[in-house]
């Protein structure tokens, strides 16, 4: 069955960096686009970033553009999110999600359980 397991969360000071990982199994990872979605405390879901199946294109929410970088290693079935210049408002549970769909229309058919990132001094 499809499994997505995030790791790498923790407490970091404002301006610091953190790298999240998402280990995927149960499907052909190299065939699917992957996303990061976050949920801040008491808030709703916010899409963060998307990377195509082969890493050829990457897309970001305006709130993280220039600070976060999404990447993947298809040989390791792993998705990454490098987060730099972290701010208090980046505090959230970060989920990786598998993309599904066609012709550029993608929803998220499987999600991980999330990893908590806390940005605080």
Partner 1 sequence: EIVMTQSPATLSVSPGERATLSCRAGQSVSINLAWYQYKPGQAPRLLIYGASTRATGIPARFSGSGSGTEFTLTISGLQSEDFAIYYCQQYSNWPPYTFGQGTKLEIK
Under the binding rule (CB under 8 A), the answer on residue 61 touching partner 1 is yes
Under the binding rule (CB under 8 A), the answer on residue 47 touching partner 1 is yes
Contacts of 69 (CB under 8 A, 6+ apart): 58, 81, 82, 84
Under the binding rule (CB under 8 A), the answer on residue 108 touching partner 1 is yes
103: left (phi over 0), alpha (psi -120 to 50) or beta: left
Helices (H), 32-81: none
Which pair of structure tokens corresponds to residue 44?
């709703």
Q: Residue from 40, 55, 110, 118 that binds partner 1 (CB under 8 A)?
A: 110
CB of 121 to partner 1, least distance (A): 26
Under the binding rule (CB under 8 A), the answer on residue 113 touching partner 1 is yes
Stretch that binds partner 1, among 9-17, 22-30, 84-92, 107-115 (CB under 8 A): 107-115
Q: Cα 116 to the chain's mean position, in Å?
A: 12
Q: Residue from 27, 52, 59, 67 that binds partner 1 (CB under 8 A)?
A: 59
């Amino acid at each position: 069955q499809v499994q997505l397991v995030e790791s790498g969360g923790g407490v970091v000071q404002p301006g610091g960096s953190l790298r999240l990982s998402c280990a995927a199994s149960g499907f052909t990872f190299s065939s699917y686009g992957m996303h990061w979605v976050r949920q801040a405390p008491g808030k709703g879901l916010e899409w963060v970033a998307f990377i195509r199946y082969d890493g050829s294109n990457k897309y970001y929410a305006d709130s993280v553009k220039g600070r976060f970088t999404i990447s993947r290693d298809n040989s390791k079935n792993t998705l990454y999110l490098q987060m730099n210049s972290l701010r208090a408002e980046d505090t959230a549970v970060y989920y990786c999600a598998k993309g599904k769909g066609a012709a550029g229309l993608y929803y998220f058919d499987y999600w991980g359980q999330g990893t908590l990132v806390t940005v605080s001094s």
